[in-house]
Amino acid sequence: MAFHLLERERERGLKLAAVLEQAIQRIGHCSQCRNFSEESLCSLCASSSRDRQVLCVVESPTDLAAIEQATGYRGQYFVLMGRLSPLDGLGPEELGLAQLTERLGVGEIEELIIATNPTVEGEATAHYLAQLARAGGVRPTRLAHGVPLGGELEYVDRGTLAHAFGSRQLLD
């Protein structure tokens, strides 16, 4: 990208640099959900139309954006900005889990939707978060893993198929 900008798009490159500089200077973190925000409270946390009894925990702002675009979820979020990964120096403190525990302890939240990624570290994080939720008297739920829409069973990897088979649901 740098070579392309230098070769043909120097003017656009300068504009991009200015926008990046502004973003880096202005954008911080929401004090409640930790997502990127220009204000101390982001628009999602400040909104009065979001359900305050459901909190969805995601690893990154892009995961939050994906859920917002794909689902009709109307609750609130908490963004970890990572996942538990001791080798990378990411522990409960770096993920803001003290802040999350405090929020769970207020008594407003009834369900904690754990939407960390289905990776080894994401699953370990989910396990930890579920314990936090239970300790705070909050019901933890986990996103289902399964066969993708339009997918065919013979091409689905064994781990996903085993998970999907294990969490089959009653048809009603």
Cβ of residue 125: shortest distance to Zn ion, in angstroms?
20
Cβ of residue 17: shortest distance to Zn ion, in angstroms?
28
Cβ of residue 42: shortest distance to Zn ion, in angstroms?
3
Contact residues: Zn ion, CB under 5 A: 30, 32-33, 42, 45
* Pair of tokens at residue 34: 């930790």
Q: Give 74 or 134: the residue with its C-beta nearer to Zn ion.
A: 74
Cβ of residue 153: shortest distance to Zn ion, in angstroms?
40
DSSP 58-94: ESSHHHHHHHHHHS---SEEEE-SS--BGGGTB-TTT
Q: How far is the CA of 112 from the CAs of 55, 77, 109, 155, in angstroms? A: 5, 9, 7, 32
3-state secondary structure of 144: coil
Neighbours of 9 (CB within 10 A): 13
Q: Give 76 or 125: the residue with its C-beta nearer to Zn ion.
A: 76
Q: Give 36 or 128: the residue with its C-beta nearer to Zn ion.
A: 36
Q: Give 98 or 144: the residue with its C-beta nearer to Zn ion.
A: 98
